[in-house]
Amino acid sequence: MAVSLDDIRAAREVVASSGVVRHTPLLESRTLSERAGAIVRLKAEGLQHTGSFKVRGAVNRMAALSPAERERGVIAASAGNHAQGVAVAARAAGVRATVVMSATAPLAKVQATRDYGAEVVLAGDSYDDARAEAARLRDGRGLVEVPAYDDPLIVAGQGTVGLEILDDMPDVALLVVPVGGGGLAAGIAIAAKSQRPDVRVVGVQAEAAPGVARSLAARRIQHVATRPTLADGIAVGGPGEVTFPLLARYLDDLVLVDDDDIAEAMVLLLERAKLVVEGAGAAGVAALLAGRIDPRGEPTAIVLSGGNVDINMLARVVEHGLSRAGRYCRLRIAIDDRPGQLAVIARIIGEHGANILSVAHQRFGVDLPVGRVEAVVLLEVRDHAHGDAVAAALRNAGFGVTRE
């Protein structure tokens, strides 16, 4: 195998002395523990200086550069988080860095990378497009490539997350890790299973980017065209030559989650754990909430791999996640066209503890008979059952109600 426990332990010494990598906390979540029927702790890598785990591998790779390579400078392709990790690691090492990102990369990640001192080049619409442009620039400028995941030093650096988890939670029985190209999952799995072979390691991918899942099923590397997803940080076409055999050997299982699952997880983490987590980082929690993973009542650690999410995107995710969780309820209510009807509706809604967010009053339409109007009411409720109870109360009062 290309990476060993000794490699990861050596990487720990490198990242610990770098001054730019933190030992992130492992936070217990009472909400998730109650839902899972097991102790669940969250490895908050979003609290890293760069907002993700990627700086670990970048620092370890940068430390291995020769004096001649340092003089030439480095280049990396990234969906966003690796870009920031490379930029920070390069600045700390006094090395020039060029980073190629897709034109669809979140603006927050692009600007942060520039702020950390790297030259940013935007190319194409996907990580694979960015990687192709990075290869062209590497050859043309004579730069040293710092891969996002397919490099033994990168994998070893990411594996330091696993060492920290075992240090802080010696009884952990299940590790849940987001998977893009596989560097983080491979590193953590090696770190854990080399010391505790009984620990289960489960990877989680976005349904829109199932390259590793397809590869494991086919027992050979498969590259897929990724679709747009909230989990842009793991929207990678497939594993690499280094990561694939490691994943095949060490992963116990790999599951898929969709964007609705991810949005719900992001909202729960924000509301209950007070953690801002990006889509890729929330994939493990999404798998737990969606029932894709069974902790079997055993101590569980879920890696929240990053927290770099655009504020505008976060606002949209919150609204979508609340709707999916049943916290928003939209009702179409048929009303007799006479005074006082909206007041009656508002009173019933208030009596049942729901909050009116908006009302649209429609008087004209081909589906509306003479003497009838329609109100579309958006409510804030506790959950799906609460919304159903409000709708039932309105029906009992004689209103025609359709829940959307």
Give the tens place of pLDDT for each residue, 245-293. 999 999 999 999 999 999 999 999 999 999 999 999 999 999 999 999 9
pLDDT of the residue at 323: 81
Mean pLDDT over residues 34-51, rounded? 95
One-letter amino acid at 169 equals: M
Average model confidence (pLDDT) across the chain: 93
* pLDDT at residue 208, as a whole number: 96
Query: What residue has token string 């970048």?
Result: 58
C-alpha–C-alpha distance, residues 265 and 318, integer Å: 10
Q: Is the pLDDT of residue 367 over 80?
A: no
Structural domains of the chain in order of their starting residue, each with its CATH number: 13-53+157-323 (3.40.50.1100), 55-145 (3.40.50.1100), 326-403 (3.30.70.260)
How many CB atoms are located within 10 Å of the residue 248 CB?
Answer: 17
CA pair distance 400, 404, nearest whole angstrom = 13
Are 78 and 279 a contacting pair, CB within 8 Å? no
How do 40-44 and 26-28 pair as beta strands? antiparallel
Catalytic positions, please? Answer: 54, 305
Q: Dump pLDDT digits (tens) for 103-160.
A: 888 787 888 899 999 999 999 888 778 889 999 999 999 999 999 999 999 999 999 9
Encode burial over 7-44: b for 16+ CB neighbours within 10 A, e otherwise.
bbebbbebbeebebbeebebeebeebbeebebbbbbbb
Q: Yes or no: say if 9 and 187 are a contact pair by the CB < 8 Å rule.
A: no
pLDDT value of position 134: 94
* 323-358 per-position pLDDT tens digit: 877 889 999 998 888 889 999 999 999 999 999 999
Say what the pLDDT of residue 109 is. Answer: 81
What pLDDT, on a 0 to 100 scale, did the predictor assign at position 91?
A: 95
The residue assigned the tokens 């349904």 is 207
Tell me 143's DSSP state.
P
| pLDDT tens, position by position, 55-85 | 999 999 999 999 999 999 999 998 778 989 9
pLDDT value at residue 144: 96
Q: Is the dihedral of CA 166, 44, 101, 141 positive or negative?
A: negative
Query: Which amino acid makes up residue 191?
Result: A
Backbone angles phi and psi of 140, in degrees to 5: -75, -35
**CA atoms of 89 and 176, how far apart (whole Å):** 27
Q: How many CB atoms lie within 10 A of CB 274?
A: 8
Residue 309's pLDDT is what? Answer: 87
CB 109 within 8 A of CB 80: yes
Report pLDDT for 368. 65
In this prediction, residue 365 carries a pLDDT of: 59
